[in-house]
């Protein structure tokens, strides 16, 4: 007697939320998500600077807040959902909406006075120059002779 159900396709797994919604008379996709949104970032060090690139699709630059306090860089904002009327039917909502915040600790060897932030194509890019290291000085010490 075979009690295992054969695995037919990945479509069964992908459509599980639809089946679940049909069973219980609603869909979790119809409600906007209000949880904290994760902000993916890249941190790159190159040519005497550190670059932080954060993905913030659907956000206008004036809706972003970028600040540094106690060597902690914070990027935050809010992604707002489009309002729907009672007559509008929402079949699927996979985009996430709500507040987001991402903080990372910065190295003290960065020159926070020279920070620059730009926004393009849904990415905010923050560039921070490194503090120039003092090069060790060589000091020749004269040697005297004792008589």
Helices (H) and strands (E) in the chain, counts: 2, 7
* CA 106/CA 129 separation, integer angstroms: 12
* pTM exceeding the 0.85 threshold for the entire prediction: no
Q: How many domains does the chain have?
A: 1
Q: Are strands 65-69 and 72-79 parallel, antiparallel or unpaired?
A: antiparallel
Domain-embedded: residue 12: no
* CA 134/CA 132 separation, integer angstroms: 6
Q: Could you tell me the CATH number of the domain that includes residue 46?
A: 2.60.40.790
Task: Give the residue numbers spanning the domain of 110.
Answer: 32-129
Query: Which residue numbers in the chain have pLDDT < 50?
Result: 1, 14, 24-34
Q: What is the pLDDT of residue 27?
A: 42
Q: What is the pLDDT of residue 116?
A: 95
Domain-embedded: residue 54: yes
The 8-class DSSP code of residue 37 comes to B
Domain-embedded: residue 111: yes
* CA 4/CA 8 separation, integer angstroms: 12
Q: What is the pLDDT of residue 31?
A: 39
Q: What is the pLDDT of residue 19?
A: 54
List alpha helices for 1-103, DSSP H. 10-14, 16-24
Q: What is the pLDDT of residue 11?
A: 52
């Amino acid at each position: 007697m075979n009690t295992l159900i054969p695995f037919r396709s990945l479509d069964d797994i992908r459509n599980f939320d639809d089946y679940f919604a049909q069973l219980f008379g609603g869909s979790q996709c119809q409600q906007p998500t209000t949880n904290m949104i994760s902000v993916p970032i890249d941190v790159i060090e190159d040519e005497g600077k550190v670059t932080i690139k954060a993905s913030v699709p659907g956000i206008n630059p004036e809706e972003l807040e970028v600040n540094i306090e106690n060597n902690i860089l914070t990027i935050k904002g809010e992604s707002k959902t489009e309002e729907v009327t009672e007559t509008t039917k929402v079949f699927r909502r996979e985009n996430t909406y709500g507040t987001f915040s991402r903080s990372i600790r910065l190295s003290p060897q960065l020159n926070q006075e020279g920070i620059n932030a730009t926004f393009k194509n849904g990415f905010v890019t923050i560039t921070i120059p490194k503090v120039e290291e003092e090069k060790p000085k060589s000091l020749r010490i004269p040697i005297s002779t004792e008589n």
